[in-house]
Amino acid sequence: MRDVTELYMDGEHFKVRLSERDIPDAVIERLRHFNIAEWTLRTAEVREDRGKFVNSTWEVEEEGIRYWVSVGLGNYITTIVKKDSSGVEKCIRSGDYYDFVEQVNRERMDADIAGIT
């Protein structure tokens, strides 16, 4: 992304999110003329099986509001959000689903430990 100056904004999902989320023109302009020095990298995802790039998420602040934009293969923007919370309130912390995930993770960790010793 270091040399990227143009991001593609013609994906359907991105267009829908753009209209739903009332993203200011100033943020859109910053995307049109992408300058990596103005953005902060927040996540970078790769395929676990192949180690290949999947997407990255970048943050910029405009008028006191943080915006996150995810960029996928070919420099296509996949989505954009106003980052107005930490997201912690959406985390599942109890219940059947939590218990299931905890059990699967425990089994995987135990298997990893057993394989090491």
Per-residue pLDDT of the chain (117 residues; tens, 9 = 90+): 778 888 888 888 888 888 888 899 999 999 999 999 999 999 988 887 887 888 999 999 999 999 999 999 889 999 998 887 665 666 788 899 888 888 988 888 888 888 765
Residue type, 49: D
SS3 9: coil
What is the Cα–Cα distance from 5 to 35, expressed in whole angstroms? 6
The Cα 8–Cα 115 span in angstroms is 45
- The burial of 67, by beta-carbon neighbours within 10 Å (0-12 exposed, 13-18 middle, 19 or more buried), is given as buried
Provide the residue ranges of all domains of the chain, joining segments of one domain with +: 12-85
